[in-house]
Amino acid sequence: MTLTAVLITLPVASVSAILGLACVWTLMAWARIAVAHHYPSDVLAGSALAMLVAYPISKI
């Protein structure tokens, strides 16, 4: 969730970095699932919550 909150604000500063940031997020999400720290639903729910909180704040 923290990674998503940070990454969701960065494309505002640099639109060209979106693909790289998406790759970083995907690798981290996969790693959390692969080592059984989280279920896929945990990763998706945490990311959705982070986006709902971080995106509006980044627009202030």
Nearest Cα residue to 27 out of 6, 4, 48, 5: 4
Kindly give the residue spans of alpha helices, DSSP state H, lying in 1-60.
2-13, 18-34, 40-58
pTM: 0.72
Task: Give residue-wise pLDDT tens across range 13-43.
Answer: 677 788 888 899 899 999 999 999 899 999 9
Q: What is the pLDDT of residue 8?
A: 77
Nearest Cα residue to 4 out of 59, 60, 37, 53: 53
Provide the domain count of the chain. 1
Residue 19's domain comprises: 2-58
